[in-house]
Amino acid sequence: MLSSSPRGLLSMSPSANGAGAGRDGLLARCRGEQIEPPAPARIERIVRSALHASEEALAARVTLGLSDDARQRIAALLSAEDDVISLGDVDVEGERAVLGRIKEAPGNVSLDTMLTEIDKLLAVRAIGVSAGVFADVAPNVVAGWRARATVESPSHLRTHPVALRLTLVAALLGEREREITDTLVDLLISTVHRVGARAERKVIKELVNAFKRVSGKENILFRVAKAVAGRARWHRPRRCVPGRQWR
């Protein structure tokens, strides 16, 4: 008979394709032991239970990698009681404002957008999620956690077990830190290009305006062109004849 414990039955990663992999693993186990597989409904229950147990174990391991300060600050982000949250040297508004701002996409290229992104990056870094806390977790698993934390409201996140809620928010913060940093680099490059283009247009405009302010500019250009053409004829090279002196 199959083990009734999902932990003893199969070990899987809580990723997007974990259910399919777990189902395949269970059927392969049945074929290997030459036993009749359970009914489809029971297979689904076993796989879901195994996924849940695997995610809980992985979240507990990730939570152990967070510092005490990081755990407290993540908990403060999800606290419905605090209107103002202190993140180190940064005091920000309540949980919805902080998480909502962190989740927001950047605006158009402007100084205000750059300052907003800098504030978001400072808020994320103030929480103190270390870069190596997800070092031994598959990237697709971290991406799945981040996606869940992005769409779930703070009140929904608070319904998860402590380890899982800390892990979900930590995944969101870690991914957003990299994304916001990349956004700031792109904004800086775009701003430099825009400043260069504006400076070039300004110089051209000033030259055109200066030319327009000159009275009789057509006559001046005609005389300049005529003088240049006459000087070119005057300096035309002469052919030298041997034995002849020029006076």
Q: Output the pLDDT for position 138.
A: 87
Do residues 131 and 171 share a domain? yes
What is the total count of domains within the chain? 3
Do residues 171 and 216 share a domain? no
Do residues 150 and 46 share a domain? no
- The letter for the amino acid at 26 is L
Q: Is residue 167 part of a domain?
A: yes
Do residues 191 and 207 share a domain? no
- Please report how many Cα atoms fall inside a 13 Å half-sphere around the Cα of residue 56, on the Cβ side: 11
Do residues 26 and 132 share a domain? no
Do residues 208 and 152 share a domain? no
Do residues 159 and 220 share a domain? no
Domain residues for 208? 198-226
Do residues 109 and 169 share a domain? yes
Q: Output the pLDDT for position 195.
A: 76
Those residues of the chain that have pLDDT short of 70 are: 1-27, 43, 80-96, 203, 206-247
Q: Is residue 236 part of a domain?
A: no
Q: Is residue 241 part of a domain?
A: no
Single out the residue of 91, 121, 99 nearest to residue 185, CA to CA.
Answer: 121
Q: What's the gap between Cα 197 and its chain centre?
A: 27
Q: Is residue 237 part of a domain?
A: no
Q: Output the pLDDT for position 196.
A: 76
Do residues 80 and 164 share a domain? yes
Q: Output the pLDDT for position 77.
A: 87
Do residues 24 and 139 share a domain? no
Do residues 28 and 98 share a domain? no
φ/ψ (deg, to 5) at 36? -75, 130
Q: Is residue 240 part of a domain?
A: no
Distance CA(237)–CA(247), nearest Å, equals: 16
Do residues 102 and 165 share a domain? yes
Q: Output the pLDDT for position 50.
A: 76
Q: Is residue 122 part of a domain?
A: yes
Distance CA(217)–CA(209), nearest Å, equals: 12
- Residue-wise pLDDT for 73-92, tens only, equals 999 888 743 444 445 444 44
